[in-house]
Amino acid sequence: GVVRSRWRRTARRYGVIALVLFAVAAFSAAAGASPAPTVRPVVLPRDRGAHPGFGEEWWYTSGTLTGANRRAYFWFATIWSADGALVAKVNVVDLGADRIVLSHEYVSATPVTEGQTQFTVGAFELGLRSGGTLGRWSVDASTGAGGRLELDLVPRQPYVLHGHDGIIQQGTGGLSAYYSAPRLAARGTLTLNGKPVSVTGQGWLGHQWGNF
């Protein structure tokens, strides 16, 4: 239907974004940039932050929400980093209406710093707001057109290291480091057309980086 068509367009857009980021990485390598660092076993909490120097890195959150208006929503909010560029995206789908109700992209030529855990790309923010064993993540993304998603995301179980000690093989593309928070308690506010509604639900966070 309409949502499926929009998701296909979104997927194509992501493909363009990925190609741009990968092209930047390839150009940097060809221009004699410093050799990319080696992927090493994931150690938390050390590796919650950014890893500059790798070809690609991203933080990805998604999940389901129920509003005080009794409507059900799906969201994702994610940020990519590659060679001095940041690209972020937020999408919210009204599951009952079968349509995207909030969507926006953000781009910034801002490099990440070693260990950075809070990221701002225009009116998009994603980051780790507290330390401790599990910490607390948050998303705040505004569209500037009466739309905004604000979420606190609290892990409810330990992080999972994928592959072997958090290292996975990306097919023939090389190694990447990858861990996730498989169960997040989500709480916040979804504003549509300037009208805020409280939302609660559950979600997931993935953090991955490498030279694949």
pLDDT digits (tens, 9 = 90+) for 162-175: 999 999 998 888 89
- Backbone torsions φ then ψ of 165, nearest 5 degrees: 55, 35
Regarding pTM above 0.85, the answer is no
The pLDDT tens digits of the residues spanning 74-104 come to 999 999 998 789 999 999 999 999 999 999 9
